Amino acid sequence: MSLKLPAPPGGYDRADQAQMRGALERADLHNRKLNQDIELRNGTRLTFYDEHGTALIYDGAILGGLVRSDTASQGLSPTEQANARTNIGAAATGAGGSPGGTSGQLQYNNAGAFGGFTASGDATINTGTGAVTVSKTGGVAFAASATTDTTNAANISSGTLASARGGAGTINGLLKANGAGTVSAAISGTDYAPATTGTGLLYPNGSGGFSNATIGAGLSFSGGALSNTVSAPSAANPTATASDTAVNGTATTFMRSDAAPAVQLGSASQFGVVKVDGTTITASGGVISASIASPAAASQVGTSEGTTSTTYTDLATVGPSVTMTTGTSVLVIFTAGAAKPGGSANTSLVSVAVSGATTVAATDGNSGSASPPAAGFVFAIPGMVVLTGLTAGSNTFTLKYRLDGGTTVNFFNRRISVFRLN
């Protein structure tokens, strides 16, 4: 080791001198001196350098062999050789002696003495360099992959990789992997669509594959085209009549978009289309309404007017009269005031006539009458009659007047009311 001292002070310093002497003494403890044993402890080694600068490193075991050889050449007994190895801390490795075998052989412990052997079989040794080469095992030469990086596919030029190792092995066809490094043959129809036959179609079969589809009636498949083989029907005009009963047709034609079937007319015995009469029933905007006539009508004339006619006649002011829509029967109620200014007593009559849909003349059978006892009396003529056999529709009811003779009778406050009975 090198001895390195601190820089000297500028002048004499006793403390510095004492420190320097102590450093020299401590460093001297590590120096190897003549006629003094060299101790190797705690795994330390002894290093020599030859003329080429190559380091020769020796530990206790190596030095034990050297001492054994050296002491043997000096004629020391085995006990003396062992004592020498003990003195330098080297473990005994067997009996001492000269190298065994012949030049270039490897040394081995042969019952306490050196023996030599020549590498053979699976290994060879270069005696010039000491390199040992192993090229086979059990007499079988290593494969090329033993000395090649087989993780690089470019270095693999031949051979078959088993399917258990992720290769194809002896499998012929498509492969599928199981996710664990092993492959197996893919199954047609499950793992991939099978090759089609003929000109069929394929459909997913629900099991991960495909199956051949069946072409149904009325269809054909050729050259990749699916075609309809059913002839299209032709258009025709409707011939049936619509009613409340379904008609199952047999024609193979279809009705045009602007055509419409006839609809039967309704009657009391069958369903069908009906048309309103515009009087009793009206229609507007697709909504029908029943025209219900008023059940009664009334009219009056207050003017006092007279007549001497002995047949039913109108006064100067006709009526009163009412016009209304009736059925076949009505109730007519009427009344009139009468006055005979002079002359002898006579009978005055008031009746009703019908015109319009029905014609009925005024008669005594439908009249009301009164006979004052003498001239100068004022009296009332009431009447009520039920008329039947009328023609339903619009009818007009008018009061008519006559005398059975005598002088003029004046009629006033004439009133008529007509009531529908059906």
The CA distance from 61 to 83, in Å, is 14
Write the CA distances from 115 to 98, 118, 120, 215, integer angstroms. Answer: 9, 11, 16, 92
Regarding beta strands 235-236 and 254-255, do their DSSP bridges make them parallel or antiparallel, or are they unpaired? parallel
The mean per-residue pLDDT over the stretch 330-346 comes to 87
78-87 vs 60-73: helix crossing angle, rounded to 10: 140
In a domain, 396, yes or no: yes
Check residue 92 and give its pLDDT: 41
**Residue 371 pLDDT level (bands cut at 50, 70, 90):** confident
168 burial class (0-12, 13-18, 19+ CB within 10 angstroms)? middle
The closest alpha carbon to 334, from 373, 369, 284, 292, belongs to: 369
The CA distance from 118 to 135, in Å, is 16
Does position 358 have pLDDT exceeding 80, yes or no?
A: yes
Q: Specify the CATH number for the domain of residue 311.
A: 2.60.120
Residue 241: CB atoms within 10 Å: 12
The mean per-residue pLDDT over the stretch 381-399 comes to 95
In a domain, 321, yes or no: yes
| Model confidence, pTM | 0.36
Amino acid letter for position 222 = S
The closest alpha carbon to 181, from 160, 168, 165, belongs to: 165
In a domain, 73, yes or no: yes
Residue 53 CA, distance from chain mean position: 84
Check residue 302 and give its pLDDT: 93
Report the mean per-residue pLDDT for the chain: 79
**Residue 89 pLDDT level (bands cut at 50, 70, 90):** very low
Say if CB 410 and CB 316 are below 8 A apart. no
In a domain, 246, yes or no: no
**Residue 40 pLDDT level (bands cut at 50, 70, 90):** low
Q: Which residue has 């002839």 as its token pair?
A: 231
Check residue 67 and give its pLDDT: 47
- Taken in order 165, 167, 170, 173, the sign of the CA dihedral is positive
Structure tokens at 299: 């009219």
Q: Which residue has 């088993």 as its token pair?
A: 162
**Residue 357 pLDDT level (bands cut at 50, 70, 90):** very high
The CA distance from 239 to 91, in Å, is 129
pLDDT digits (tens, 9 = 90+) for 74-84: 566 666 655 65
Check residue 153 and report its DSSP letter: G
The CA distance from 58 to 40, in Å, is 10
Please give the sequence-ordered ranges of beta strands (E in DSSP) within 143-237, or none if there are none: 175-177, 183-185, 201-204, 210-213, 219-222, 225-228, 235-236
Cis amide prior to 382 (ω within 30 degrees): no
- The larger pLDDT score, comparing residue 297 to residue 218, is at 297
In a domain, 212, yes or no: no
Classify residue 189 as left (phi > 0), alpha (psi -120 to 50) or beta: left
Amino acid letter for position 144 = A
**Residue 166 pLDDT level (bands cut at 50, 70, 90):** low
Check residue 94 and give its pLDDT: 40
67 burial class (0-12, 13-18, 19+ CB within 10 angstroms)? buried
The closest alpha carbon to 365, from 387, 333, 395, belongs to: 387
The mean per-residue pLDDT over the stretch 195-212 comes to 69
In a domain, 344, yes or no: yes
Range of the domain at 49: 45-88
Structure tokens at 272: 């069908």
In a domain, 137, yes or no: no
The mean per-residue pLDDT over the stretch 137-159 comes to 73
pLDDT digits (tens, 9 = 90+) for 286-332: 788 766 667 889 999 999 999 999 999 999 999 999 999 999 999 99
Check residue 97 and give its pLDDT: 59
- Domain C-terminal end among 88, 123, 145: 88
Number of domains in the chain: 2
In a domain, 221, yes or no: no
The CA distance from 274 to 329, in Å, is 27
